[in-house]
Chain A
Amino acid sequence: MATPGTFISAVGHTGLIVWLIVGWGFDAEPLQIQTMDVSVISGEEFEQMRARTTPDPGAADPEAPVPPEVDETPPPPPAEEEPTETAPPPEPVEQPVEETPPPPPPEPLVTEADDQPPPEPSAPADPPPTPDIAVSEEATPPQAPTVASQITAPPPPDANVDDIVREEVVPDDSAEPDVVEEEQDATAPEETTTAIVIEDLAPRTSVRPSTRPSRPVPQPEPEPEQEESDVAEEAPAPSEPETSEDDVAAALEAALSATDAPAVAAGPPMTGAERDSFRISVNRCWNVDPGSVAARVTVEVGFSLDREGKVQGNDVRLISSDGDQSATNTAFEAARRAILRCQSGGYELPADKYDQWKDVVITFDPSGMRLR
């Protein structure tokens, strides 16, 4: 039979050992020691204290709820989100703008190509591998966010959430006129469920790798008039609400007058190789007579090409010359012969840059071919 001293000693040593192990023995860093007042109690008091703090074995475990009978409870309708498993895979055109190549032409041929049946029918059923957390089969309709011991059906759409269920009271014309019912809105308890809903942050479907940008499909060029109107429509317009259309027009006019810019051809410029190819095509037909007076004359000629690269109407016009009339005529005719003779079925020029070469001015400078 332990004496009170022994008991006190045992308690004291036990407490000391526990304190050494838990609070002090494994930390190199000095800990902030929390001190508390300890009072000495008797064994009976200690047992009584233990008896008050020991839980009742017959009580229900709050952490192990009884599974709800979900078969009897219809699943709540989806609140806002669409079922993800039925969402179609993102189309290429829905890729972010920065991930797509240059903006597609006005004619959505790419979209049309996507609408066509895919070359491999199994492609839609064989999506690219996605992370496990994104398996769409495990995705369930979102449930009510409130957890309760019993499932509460979702409130009627026109009912307010309240602890008390009330029927909607509306004035009834058929009721007795002397009976006055106070109007009140319908109320219903908040929708609850017994399942703990973990917010699913994973995407419902994996992002399909961005498709390879499709090659630009050559399309018939719009009519020049249409392009001009398009250019006019695409003219930069200020978005400030306080700027009136008159200000925009005035600014445009001022800018045009300030830059004194000629008509600007739309589209990408001709590359050096394309210009050289055109130049070579002409100069191989430019026949220069080094001994003639015309070989001392530089002429500048202009002409317009159709979309096939042929001179429109065989019309080549003289723009300028630095020689006398006779020599100029001869030099101009030699230049015209060169242009017309070598066009054959049309100069080979990039069709998508027609705006860049529909009007051409060529300077024929024979200074390097003169007799020296």
Chain B
Amino acid sequence: MMKRLLTLLVALLLAGPVLAQSGPLRLTITDGVIEPITFAVPSFEAESPAAQQAASDISRLVVQDLAGTGLFREVPSTAFISQVSSFAQPVAFPDWRAINAQALIVGAVTVSGEQLVVKFRLYDVFSGQELGQGLQFAGTVAGWRRMGHKVADAVYSRITGEGGYFDSRVVFVSESGPKDNRQKRLAIMDFDGANVQFLTDSSSIVLAPRFSPNGDRVLYTSFESGFPRINVLNVANVGRQQLQTAAGEMAFSPRFSRDGRQVIYSLSNGGNTDIYRTDLASGQHLRLTQTPSIETAPSLSPDGSQIVFESDRSGTQQLYVMSANGGEARRISFGDGRYGSPVWSPRGDLVAFTKQNAGRFHIGVMRVDGSEERLLTSSFLDEGPSWSPNGRVIMFTRETQGAGGTSSLYSVDISGRNLKAVPLQGGASDPSWGPLQP
């Protein structure tokens, strides 16, 4: 009895402080800040005399790529306390902490003949640790931009935990001439507008190019025969192949399947437009929708199991999702206005779309079930969204108003921030963002 009372007494004595606070101090933080991560890139070390220019150019390109995302902000070199003169030199972290650089990128470039080698290390300044291991890329001197994009992709990926998109290309329709006599041809460029190359001439109208999953081919709609036809273009040799359709049929709005062996597209016959799938090897067709309304702009989910498309079966243009093999479709857009040109995100969680409402066009995203719709842009005419390879950025066409209006390519982060134009000479439209290059 005495022992029980004693136990109870001791338990009560111990319970008091426990109720006050026991163990470590526990806090929960739910509100952070949204601001760019600061980083510093001392000019990469030139390990050979011929590498001076490349080292400088690559350093600046890395800065440009990272800062261009809106997620990073460069600490200018004028603020540096210490310099990095050697790749193997120990990092004086206090000096970089003092200028509030959260990340430090140290690199070196070697040029031997036409071969260019770039290596780098990424440091988390405040923890004094290296993030990942140092990487090295080898290429040609002429391909120094790809080397710089590769470094930037690696840095981006290590800090954000997501894949990069800098070493990628975009195929688009280059436009020139007045609005009533506009010349259009296919072109390809780096994601940042550099290295533009034309894939077709301007003898016929081309529309809606789409990259293949691995970036080796491009699907596009050509009016070369007077009717819209789907062509498959080999990017490497610019060779073309036309998708076979019956006479009098109009095929447009094509996309590759995830494996690149099939094409889904819209086929208009007798005033009715439905979605079809064609096997490129066998040429077999499969009709996926059978309604009297217009179904077009199909886009496959990343796993290839579903298709999102637009249809006016409800009386207005809306978005629907159905199985990749056709069948019952469910509507996912219920907002005011008209929805079109849906594109499934590479992450699989969002669908980007064009929305027209109250005389304005918007680029927006929604979840695949139609929830959480967010409009990212608004202008006289925004249309044709295309996802970056990592599903983080959307590139689209923006056309200005009036007879002298021009089309340009813009990009925007899926948060709605960092809206900016892609620097290009001349007009451009219908971007299709390709995959990361190997």
Q: Which A residues have a C-beta under 8 Å from some C-beta of B?
A: 235-236, 238, 240, 242-243, 247-248, 250-252, 254-256, 258-259, 261-266, 268-270, 275, 278-279, 282-294, 302, 314, 316, 326-327, 329-331, 333, 336-338, 340-341, 356-357, 359-369, 371-372
Contact = CB atoms under 8 A, between A and B. Distances in A.
A118 to B, nearest CB: 39
B161 A236 contact: no
B238 to A, nearest CB: 36
A251 B14 CA distance: 12
A256 B7 CA distance: 9
Contacts of A337: 102, 124, 126-127
Contacts of A279: 27, 29
29 contacts: A242-B2, A247-B3, A251-B6, A251-B10, A252-B10, A255-B11, A262-B18, A263-B22, A264-B17, A264-B18, A264-B22, A268-B20, A270-B21, A275-B25, A278-B27, A279-B27, A283-B32, A288-B33, A292-B392, A293-B347, A330-B160, A337-B124, A337-B127, A356-B25, A362-B29, A363-B26, A363-B29, A371-B372, A371-B415
Contacts of A263: 22-23
A255 B7 contact: yes
A329 B26 contact: no
Interface majority SS (helix, strand, loop, mixed), chain B:
mixed
Interface residues of B, number: 48
A330 B390 CA distance: 15
A329 B20 CA distance: 34
B34 A292 contact: no
B24 A282 contact: no
Given A279-B27, A288-B32, A291-B414, A259 B392 contact: no
Residue among A287, A288, A291, A302 with max Cβ neighbours from chain B (10 Å): A291
A288 B36 CA distance: 9
Given A263-B23, A292-B161, A361-B25, A368 B31 contact: yes
A347 B27 CA distance: 14
Given A316-B127, A326-B161, A291 B22 contact: no
Given A258-B11, A293-B161, A359-B25, A287 B37 contact: yes
A365 B6 contact: no
A251 B8 CA distance: 9
Interface hub of A242, A255, A365 (most chain B Cβ within 10 A): A255
Nearest to B126: A340
Contacts, number: 175
Contacts of B347: 293
Contact of B414 (A248, A366, A371): A371
Interface of B: 2-3, 6-7, 9-11, 13-15, 17-18, 20-35, 37, 71, 100, 102, 124, 126-128, 131, 159-162, 347, 372, 374, 392, 413-415
Contacts of A338: 32
Contact of A369 (B25, B32, B392): B32
Contacts of B13: 236
B22 A265 contact: yes
B22 A248 contact: no
B3 A251 contact: yes
Given A248-B6, A263-B23, A302-B24, A287 B34 contact: yes
A243 B413 contact: no
Contacts of A330: 159-162
Contact of B28 (A251, A314, A363): A363
Among B17, B20, B30, B102: residue with most chain A CB under 10 A = B30
Contact of A356 (B15, B21, B32, B33): B21
Given A255-B14, A293-B161, 9 more contacts: A235-B10, A243-B6, A259-B18, A264-B21, A285-B33, A330-B161, A340-B126, A362-B27, A368-B30
B153 to A, nearest CB: 15
A71 to B, nearest CB: 67
A261 B15 contact: yes
B34 A369 contact: yes
Contact of A341 (B14, B126, B162, B415): B126
A359 B10 contact: no
Contacts of A287: 32-35, 37
Contacts of B102: 337, 341
- Interface pairs A-B: 9 shortest CB-CB: A330-B161, A286-B32, A359-B24, A255-B10, A288-B32, A340-B126, A291-B415, A251-B6, A255-B11
Given A360-B24, A361-B26, A362-B27, A289 B6 contact: no
A244 to B, nearest CB: 10
Contacts of A269: 20-21
A349 B347 CA distance: 43
Nearest to A324: B161
A364 B30 CA distance: 6
A287 B29 CA distance: 12
Given A251-B3, A372-B372, A289 B34 contact: yes
Contacts of A255: 7, 10-11, 14
B406 to A, nearest CB: 29
Contact of B22 (A262, A285, A364): A262
Contacts of A369: 30-32, 34
B12 to A, nearest CB: 9
A331 B29 CA distance: 13
B31 to A, nearest CB: 6
Nearest to B347: A293
A252 B11 CA distance: 8
A236 B10 contact: yes
A240 B30 CA distance: 52
A256 B17 CA distance: 13
Contacts of B7: 251, 254-255, 258
Given A293-B161, A371-B374, A360 B25 contact: yes
B21 A265 contact: yes
Nearest to A231: B17
A365 B30 contact: yes
Contacts of B35: 287
A292 B22 contact: no
Nearest to A296: B349
Contacts of A289: 34, 71, 160, 415
B14 A264 contact: yes
A288 B35 CA distance: 8
Contacts of A326: 161-162
B161 A329 contact: yes
Contacts of B10: 235-236, 251-252, 254-255
